[in-house]
Chains A and B, each alone.
Chain A
Amino acid sequence: QVQLVESGGDVVQPGRSLRLSCAAAGFTFSRYGLHWVRQAPGKGLEFVAVISYDGRNEYYADSVKGRFTISRDNSKNTLYLQMNSLRAEDTAVYYCAKGIFGVVVDALDIWGQGTMVTVSS
C-alpha cells in the first residue's frame, strides 16, 4: 500500500529546532520529488519545501528560507525537514506529499496523515 507517515511533531519554544521525518512505503521512493506542505490552524494549505527525486535540487517558501532544510535518504525511503529558529507563525500541521509525476513542480497524489508542530513559550 502506498503511504507516507510523518513523525517528529512536538511543542517547542520559539527559537528552538525540530526535525520532522516522513517514512515512505509502497512506491519507488527514489523516483519521485517530495514536498512538505503545512496548514496553520483554521487556515489553508501552504507550500513549505520540495526536493527533487535525487536530492540535488531543493526549493523553499520565502517564509522558511534560511531556517528550514529539506533532505532525503533514498536508502531509507525517508524524507526530512530540519526546522531551525522556529517562530510562532510556524505552528501548523506539516504534511509530506508525493508528486504524481516525480518532478519538483507537481500535483500531489499521496499525502501523509500530518504531524503537528506547535511553537509556543
Chain B
Amino acid sequence: DIQMTQSPSSLSAPVGDRVTITCRASQGISNYLAWYQQKPGKVPKLLIYAASTLQSGVPSRFSGSGSGTDFTLTISRLQPEDVATYYCQKYNSAPPITFGPGTKVDIK
C-alpha cells in the first residue's frame, strides 16, 4: 500500500503569516490528493481535491499544489479560525484511501 507522510507534525505561526504543509506519497499518485481540515472536536472538512482544486465555500487563502509524490497545502495569511489539524489523503487507483498522519497548526 502507498504510505503518506506529512511535515511538519505541528507548527505555530503568527496571524497573517504564510504557512506551508508538505505531504509526500511513497509512490506516485498523479494529482489524486485531497486535503482536509479538522478543527478541535469537529468533523473533518474537505478543503482541496485533485491536489489544487478548492472545494466550494473554502476561503481563497487556502491553496494546494503538487503532483506525483510531493504536495503542499498553503495558507497565505493565517487566521485564528485556521487553528486545526490538517490531513492529506491519497485516492488514486485501487483502494484503500490513505490519510497522512496530520499537521497541527496553532497561532503563536
Contacts and interface: CB of A to CB of B under 8 A. Distances in A.
B71 interface: no
Given A50-B96, A105-B95, A44 B101 contact: yes
Contacts of A106: 91, 97
Contact residues on A (Cβ < 8 Å of other chain), bracket: 20 to 34
B55 interface: yes
Contact residues on B (Cβ < 8 Å of other chain), bracket: 20 to 34
A80 interface: no
B99 A105 contact: no
A104 B94 CA distance: 8
Given A107-B46, A109-B55, A45 B95 contact: no
Given A105-B91, A106-B91, A111-B43, A47 B98 contact: yes
B89 interface: yes
7 contacts: A44-B99, A46-B99, A50-B97, A59-B96, A107-B46, A108-B36, A108-B46
